[in-house]
Chain A
Amino acid sequence: MNKVTNRQFRMLGITYILNTTLIHVPSELANYAKQHAYLSFFPAGLVVALMFLLLSKSAKRFPGKDLFQSLNGRHKVLGRVITFLYLIFFFIILARDIRMVADFTNVVLLPLTPIFIISIAITATVIFIARGGVQTVMGIADLYGPMMTTVVLIIPFIVAKDFDFSYIKPYFYVDWAGVGKGSWVVFSYLGQILALPFIFSSKDYRIRDGMYALLLSTGLLLLIVIMISLLVGIPIAESLMYPSYEMSRQIKITDFLDRFDMPLVGLWFPAVLLNIATSLFIICYGLKTMIPQISGKMMTSPIGLFAVVTAFWIYPNSVEVFRFDREWTVVALVFVIVLPIFIFLFHRPHRKPRMQEPREDAT
């Protein structure tokens, strides 16, 4: 069982959604929903919030246990099947995130370094974070959660003078079909927050902490997409692989602090490593809950290395990471909607036997 404070829970929730979603999802949202890309977060966020509520209610039926523990304890076979399915789901998320960050690093930061070396370096760091256990993950979340939140909230004040509101015209002509498509794409990213009830005891967090985390991370993403729309513009944003990075390149504090994107990436990179380490931790912790003889700490290294090569097998190139988001949501729907509803309906504690009333003696 992993102990966590309410604040740490919120910070981890924010970090787990924000840092990987801001890499390339704004490009897809700009492509589908054009100047109303920010509206795509609302339908997806509402559905995920409802599912988080259902999953948390299910978890709270077993006080003092997280969902992995309660599933494996209450239903010996079905619980393990559901746990295994979620482990596969988070493993593919882990491989996707490793590939995404390695591609970003290869394209933007280290174009001459072989991508396999970059991904090994990223995964090595992630393995050491995950091996530290929940305390290490929480410690980094406590530091980088508020930091990333503050940075994203300060950026609009720095770049406000460069906003061009003609980029988001027409204001009231909304392509609702495009907003729906954007919502479809971002759904799987927001749905990642459903991992938290699986790894934290239901006693250690309140449902509203998860809602705050979802609300704040969605708000920050909304702000980032709006800033991209106003600074970079939709025609360029939809053609770029990393519009958030292009947006950060527009940030200039004074005449001589013009490469502000470098410190920003320096702040963001450890946060995204934390994001990936959280996925690895979830997998190792779930595996340990499923098979108690397994040492979660020891399994981080082989699983991490396996995730690296799987990342290169799943996606043939960087563009496929974008393109597969369309089909990946079909899989995510099962894990974010179908299984949580199933767990909510059927995952209940044993009924306590009623005390038998004493029979009246005939004599």
Chain B
Amino acid sequence: MIKLLGLYILAAILVILIDRKVMRDIPGINRWMAYILLAGGFGIWAYCLQFGHVVYGSVLAGHYLDKFVPF
């Protein structure tokens, strides 16, 4: 689990490093959106990897959408 989280953090660092020069010049909303997406991604990934019960998106959505499927 720690390895996979570590891989995500490495990928996130690479994402920031790729655009570090551009990030200084562009409007701040880009930086904030990037940081929010990366932090949110870390939270989702940590939730998926935890040992407790995980509620997956398709299972949750399928529970509510199933009644609208005609078969």
B2 beta carbon closer than 8 Å to chain A: no
How many chain B residues sit at the interface, stated as a range, is: 35 or more
Q: For the complex, give the distance between the alpha carbons of A291 and B27 in Å.
A: 11
Q: A298-B34, A314-B58, A320-B56 are known contacts. Are A309 and B48 too (CB-CB below 8 A)?
A: yes
A120 beta carbon closer than 8 Å to chain B: yes
B66–A327 CB distance below 8 A? yes
B18–A324 CB distance below 8 A? no
Q: A181-B71, A313-B48 are known contacts. Are A306 and B33 too (CB-CB below 8 A)?
A: no
- Chain B residue at minimal CB-CB distance from A32: B71
Residues of B within 8 A of A320 (CB): 56, 58-59
> Among A117, A184, A299, which residue has its beta carbon within 8 angstroms of that of B71?
A184
**A 285-332 contacts with B by CB, 8 A:** 291, 293-295, 298-299, 301-303, 305-306, 308-310, 312-316, 320, 323-324, 326-327, 329-331
> Among B11, B29, B34, B40, which residue has its beta carbon within 8 angstroms of that of A293?
B29
How many residues on chain A are close to B (CB under 8 Å)?
34
> Among A116, A180, A291, A326, which residue has its beta carbon within 8 angstroms of that of B7?
A116
A326–B58 CB distance below 8 A? no
A306–B29 CB distance below 8 A? no
Residues of A within 8 A of B52 (CB): none
A295–B15 CB distance below 8 A? no
Q: For the complex, give the distance between the alpha carbons of A295 and B54 in Å.
A: 34
Residues of B within 8 A of A180 (CB): 71
Q: A314-B58, A320-B58 are known contacts. Are A302 and B27 too (CB-CB below 8 A)?
A: no
- Chain A residue at minimal CB-CB distance from B10: A120
- Chain A residue at minimal CB-CB distance from B37: A302
> Among A120, A291, A312, A331, which residue has its beta carbon within 8 angstroms of that of B65?
A331
Query: How far is the CB of A72 from the nearest CB of chain B, in Å?
Result: 16
Query: How far is the CB of B16 from the nearest CB of chain A, in Å?
Result: 9
Could you list which residues of chain B lie within 8 angstroms of chain A, going by C-beta atoms? 4, 7-8, 11-12, 15, 18-19, 22-23, 26-27, 29-30, 33-34, 37-38, 40-42, 44-45, 47-48, 54, 56-59, 61-62, 65-66, 68-71
Could you list which residues of chain A lie within 8 angstroms of chain B, going by C-beta atoms? 116-117, 120, 177, 180-181, 184, 291, 293-295, 298-299, 301-303, 305-306, 308-310, 312-316, 320, 323-324, 326-327, 329-331
